[in-house]
Amino acid sequence: MVTTTQKQRVLIVDDQKANLKILSDMLRPEVDIVLAQDGEQGFRKACELRPDLILLDVLMPGIDGFEVIRRLKHEAVTSAIPVIFITALNDVSHEEQGLLLGACDYINKPFHSVIVKARIQLHLQLSRQRMLLEQLAHLDPLTAIANRRKFEQVLLQEWRGAIRSQRPISLVMLDIDNFKLYNDQFGHAAGDRALQQVASTLSEQLKRPFDFIARYGGEEFVLVLPDTPAPAGQQLVQQCLQAVLELQIPHLPAGQVLSLSAGGISFKPGQHDVAEQALAAADQMLYQAKHQGKNRVLWTSSNQNGDC
């Protein structure tokens, strides 16, 4: 869902406590404030918390602001976060260097509250607009869940996370049974309503914040379940299938209701494993579930240790 009500977060990175206090007192009523007293700490907090805007001092002990922004722009999770440099330097070459490295603006010391607030509000508004556009670009317009483009991003991110943590990840493909027949009999408007009901019902079964669902295409859905071994994954998907049955959406032949088939895989990936191959294995399980009578889950576990 696209949301706009959440309070925005600003990370302030400055080695001078007085500057941190001035800026935080100035901004705190409108935004959530996170403080960092050096470049290393600022970089870590940016990666962990992913603020909407970063105010970054240029001159700091250890790594300076220029090195921090280089690192931020190199990391995928922080590369799009707008950075405003705060500096006492009145040097055109320094300002040019910062802008070339990707800074969106400069605020000079000593601070003038009206100017500081105006510039920060402008960049927070731009950040909010960009976030809304990104959300819309990753949203399936019919079902209001994530689309395939977003799924591909999440799959890559969670796959890499599973490699680092050496924890299992489960991937699931789900498909509405005999959906072409449903559309032919009841019409595409009814088919759209059924897709919306199924998507909403599946989403409700995912209780953990990092579990993920997307519409893969047509009447097909996909789940990404991090840190989930086979037994837990199978149990969740069985609940999904049962919840859809309980919707009691009439189907053919007479007396039948809309159902799902699902195929899943649990996998503890290594450095040389490819997410697309695991997804293909889940899709093969779905294919077999269809041919074995539909309204069922088939699962495979595959990893080098055999303990998923």
The torsion of the CA quartet 62, 65, 67, 73, rounded to 10 degrees, works out to: 140
∠ CA 277-282-283, rounded to 5°: 90
Residue 135 and residue 140: Cα distance in Å, rounded? 10
Note whether 114 and 26 are within 8 A (CB). no
- Nearest in space to 289 (alpha carbons), one of 172, 186, 205, 195: 172
Note whether 158 and 212 are within 8 A (CB). yes
Note whether 13 and 65 are within 8 A (CB). yes
Burial of 96 (0-12, 13-18, 19+ CB in 10 A): exposed
Note whether 172 and 282 are within 8 A (CB). yes
Strands (DSSP E) found in 156-291 = 169-176, 212-217, 220-226, 250-251, 256-257, 260-267
Q: Which of 219, 220, 246, 276 is catalytic?
A: 219
219 is annotated as an active-site residue: yes
Q: Which residues are catalytic?
A: 219
